[in-house]
Amino acid sequence: MRNLFLAAASLAVVVASPGAAQQQTGRPAGNFRLTDMDGKVVRLSDYKGKMVVLEWSNPGCPFVQKHYASGNMQATQAKARAAGAAWLTINSGAPGKQGYMTGPEAKAWVAKEKAVPTDYLLDPAGRVGRGYGAKTTPHVYVIAPDGRLVYQGGIDDKPTADAADIAGAKNYVLAAIGEVKAGKPVKVAETRPYGCSVKYAG
């Protein structure tokens, strides 16, 4: 059964070219405004002067499930926040498509998974996701305190749905955060994101 699950998951993977992204690494990240799971309006500019991580998520995606069921995403969120970063999870799933959630559904999911993002944002029209060139779930971006996008791509270097691969993976997000904190350039600034395609409207 496990092999069948992994085989099915592998069919869902989308590997996107880093060059396809709308936001350019090294350039200022585009501001945006979204509603969070509590109905509050949140802007990226609310976090001016802080490091920010953007994580595109779809709870129905096997690749997202890999990182949450194992606790890897929650641990990464916690370490990022301990380093002073704000973590914004974004759901760009359109109504009627896999992963779409209302605010109360998102709140229940965050509680069930014991996730610790700074906030969970809803983007059902997909405007922010498309503007950032988010291709997969997960697809992660790191923004430095000066507002520059310093990393975009996969959470790590193991593009599989197998949780057993996490132990030997290089976590690109935490590496980028550590380098920014140390005042160093991010060595790996772009990688190929992997996971399920973002379920945009249309």
**Is residue 202 included in any domain, yes or no?**
no
Tokens of 155: 């959470």
Domain count across the chain? 1
CA dihedral 92, 97, 98, 103 (to 10 degrees): 50
Confidence of residue 23 (pLDDT cuts 50, 70, 90): confident
Q: Which domain holds residue 122?
A: 2-197
Instruction: Write out pLDDT tens, residues 42-79.
Output: 999 999 999 999 999 999 999 999 999 999 999 999 99
**Is residue 87 included in any domain, yes or no?**
yes
Number of H helices, E strands in the chain: 6, 9
- The CATH number for 160's domain is 3.40.30.10
d(CA 101, CA 144): 29
Q: Which residues contact 90 (CB under 8 A, 6 or more apart)?
A: 34, 54, 55, 56, 57, 121, 123, 128, 129, 134
Confidence of residue 202 (pLDDT cuts 50, 70, 90): confident
| Mean pLDDT along residues 126-154 | 97
Contact 192, 159 (CB under 8 A): yes
Confidence of residue 5 (pLDDT cuts 50, 70, 90): very low
pTM: 0.89
Tokens of 176: 């980028």
**Is residue 136 included in any domain, yes or no?**
yes
CB-based burial label for 83 (10 Å; 0-12, 13-18, 19+): middle
Chain mean pLDDT for the chain: 90
Instruction: Write out pLDDT tens, residues 11-21.
Output: 334 334 333 44
Instruction: Write out pLDDT tens, residues 94-113.
Output: 999 999 999 999 999 999 99
